[in-house]
Amino acid sequence: MKHGFLLCLSAFLPVLVPAQEFVNGSFEQNGNLCLINTTNVIFNANVKNTRAFGSFKKPDIASSDCGFGSAKEGNWFVGLATSTNNDGKSEAVSLALTQNLVQGKQYTLTFHTRLRHFAPNLEVGLSLNDSTQGSVFYTCSAKAIGTEWTEQTIRFNAPNSGKYITVKTIGNTGNSGTWIDGFVLRTVFVPENIVKVSNLKPAPAEPEIQKTTTAELGMLNAAIFPNPSPDGNFTINTKGSGELNVTVYNMLGNSIRQLTCPADSTAPAHLDLTAEQPGLYFVELASASSKVIKRVVVTK
């Protein structure tokens, strides 16, 4: 009969994992002052890693002590409005990320909104600097902004390699505005099918009887611990497995680590993934005749 080895690393649903984070996504890093209809200059001097650059130039930073309700996350929230003169002027802010996004990569952005007076539309973009709107990748309709805090969730492909998420009000009527709070960003991993197939041997004239050797049985029982690992350090117990080649793949199917466990080794092997991001990884244990895949998780 034909025999070969088929290895699949995917057929997984998209996985959300922590990614580049907002430096001040809940606006808690500020001067502890209620600033309503302030100027861009004063706002920027008080709210860290958040920059107001809109043309209306009257942004707000408020807490529950300011008389405008409570925050969704923490104690503080930001207000953006549009001009009461129907002159097209509006407010905009940029929120800094810890790292630049990867152009074309998929992310999920979550934040919360609450209307004040009449809600405007909100344009959400990604910018290479903190003072321009950048590339708009989503428009949040005013109809989706309620009188209570409402979660807005956006899945998008990064239009550039920017480091700043921008939010700009677009109002069809004067005196419209919204409160915003609780910005969170996650990476969406959508692994491609990764299939490795060894050369198939011709079918023999007579059926073969497949036997599991002691080394193969040892490999199948090889233990990787701790799993999950809080810091990325793993121990591989390969006693009785013979010589093993160890290859680690990430969720995208890229080989990120390789090592060899000698057949005569009596000590467990050390697998170091401390430099990798938290997430799911695949450890391929390969002997001269067969392979097995084990999943490990780095939590950090």
For the chain, domains (ranges, CATH) are 15-189 (2.60.120.260), 212-298 (2.60.40.3080)
What is the chain's Cα-based Rg?
Answer: 27
* Residue ranges in the chain modelled with pLDDT below 50: 1-17, 191-200, 203-204, 206-215, 217
Residues in Cβ contact with 40 at an 8 Å cutoff, skipping those fewer than 6 apart: 52, 53, 54, 57, 59
Residues in Cβ contact with 110 at an 8 Å cutoff, skipping those fewer than 6 apart: 151, 152, 153, 154, 182, 183, 184, 185, 186
Residues 116-162 pLDDT 10s: 878 889 999 999 999 999 999 999 999 999 999 999 999 999 999 99
Under 8 Å between Cβ of 176 and 145: no
Given this model, what pLDDT does residue 101 score?
A: 94
Given this model, what pLDDT does residue 240 score?
A: 61
SS3 string, 163-201, reads CEEEEEEECCCCCEEEEEEEEEEEEEECCCCCEEECCCC
In angstroms, the CA 28 to CA 48 distance is 9
Angle (CA) 177-184-280 rounded to 5° is 160
Given this model, what pLDDT does residue 225 score?
A: 84
Please report which residue ranges of the chain form alpha helices under DSSP H: 40-46, 214-220
Is the preceding peptide bond at 278 cis, omega within 30 degrees of 0? no
**DSSP per position, 83-125:** -TTSSS-B-EEEEEBSSPPPTT-EEEEEEEEEEEEBPPEEEEE
Q: Please state whether 9 falls in left (phi above 0), alpha (psi between -120 and 50) or beta.
A: alpha
Given this model, what pLDDT does residue 61 score?
A: 97
Tokens of 221: 């029982």
Given this model, what pLDDT does residue 163 score?
A: 97
What's the pTM value of the predicted model, to 2 decimals? 0.60
Given this model, what pLDDT does residue 67 score?
A: 92
Tokens of 246: 């160890």
